[in-house]
Amino acid sequence: MFLDNLNRCSHKHNSPSSSSILYYLHRNFSLWSMKKDPDLESALSRNRRWIVNNQIKNIILRYPNQDAPVKFLQKKFKTLDLQGKALNWLKKYPCCFNVYLQKDEYHCKLSKRMLFLVEEEESVKEMQEPVFAERLSRLLMLSVNHRLNVVKLNELKRNLGFPDDYLIRILPKYPDTFRLVNHCGRRSSMEIELLSWNPDLAISSVEVSARKQGSSKPCFSCSLPSTWVKSWERFNEFNATPYISPYLDSRGLLEGSKEMEKRTVGLVHELLSLTLWKKMSIVKLGHFKREFNLPDKLNILLLKHPGIFYVSNRYQIYTVLLREGYNGSELIDKDPLVVVKDKFGELMQEGTP
């Protein structure tokens, strides 16, 4: 409705200033029109606290002797989008961080229980290496040219569960599947290229679900209340058209067509299915516009399908979640890495040493 009003206004006002104001409003408010889901907003809030403390954990682990001055951590707070004093934040989580005074200066180490979880997480990562390789293969198979820029991919590595050293940990073990290429010679131009196509992996989560249900016609599921009558009508109309696998070459599809929309929805659905928490930053997703053949106004496309996707602007970070991945505020299918990270979250909540 908001976008419709903007479009009507654009016909009434044709001055340059009116056009620029209209563009600003359209660009900044088009993501605000989705009705908030308290459960999913709660999941995002809980996940945000975990992300921040996980980053603090990694900073401490990289510091000499894994003992960081709180003053040093304070300097890192800006990069973590945190305000206030680092000391106060760390003391909120005594089961995770040991804060102590040494020579009139506060220092911080990870607690013994936290270090135990770090070891458990590392063990899970080692066992999950074949899964990471499959996940990376699927990601490359979804891309137009079956290769992705390393710098861009690094923005998504934590969403996908990849370890920081995935380039040297995973790629050398699969020389027939991946290779690093750099045609320009610049470090920022380095790409991962897929060398072999695995048809067993070119099956989307939507198709897997259909097979489990004994159906020959893959289709999306809708996670909206039955009272959302109009949204259900639009969903059923969209779902009635044939499903287009995101692993098929999309270059033959006409931009703006219903077929391209169906393929794009399927692609975003599959990308979110590959992530640990079935969510992704829309801004980061937009960085792969060329690689995944995504539309310019991806945010508007996502808003057209509230039964499949949930769009939030919590913390001024526009995020898209896969609705079917959650039951209330809880993730349904948890990757083994998520199970370990949940233990970290539980430790955060204890609040007492």
- pLDDT tens-digit map of 217-258: 999 999 888 888 899 999 999 999 999 999 998 888 888 889
Question: Over 60: is that where the pLDDT of 318 sits?
Answer: yes
CB burial class (10 A; 0-12, 13-18, 19+) of residue 107?
buried
* Structure-model confidence comparison of residues 273 and 223, the more confident one: 273
* Structure-model confidence comparison of residues 260 and 14, the more confident one: 260
pTM of the model: 0.84
What's the whole-number average pLDDT of the chain? 86
At 159-214, the pLDDT tens digits run 999 998 999 999 999 999 999 998 877 878 899 999 999 999 999 999 999 999 98
Q: What is the mean pLDDT of residues 98-123?
A: 93
Q: Which helix (H) or strand (E) holds 263?
A: helix 258-274
User: What DSSP character marks residue 49?
Assistant: H
Angstrom CA distances, 198 to 80, 191, 205, stand at 39, 20, 16
Which single residue is written with the structure tokens 């430790």?
347
pLDDT at position 16: 45
Percent of the chain whose predicted confidence (pLDDT) is above 70: 88
Fill in the amino acid letter for 341.
K
d(CA 31, CA 208) in angstroms, rounded, equals 31
Kindly report which listed range (149-163, 242-256, 268-282) carries the lowest average pLDDT score.
242-256
At 25-79, the pLDDT tens digits run 444 444 445 788 889 988 887 777 777 888 899 899 999 999 999 999 888 877 7
Q: What is the mean pLDDT of residues 318-344?
A: 92
* DSSP calls for 63-96: SGGG-EEHHHHHHHTTTTT--S-HHHHHHT-TTT
Q: Kindly give, in sequence order, each residue whose CB lies less than 8 Å from that of residue 249, ignoring residues fewer than 6 positions away.
A: 144
Kindly report which listed range (45-54, 119-128, 298-307) carries the lowest average pLDDT score.
45-54
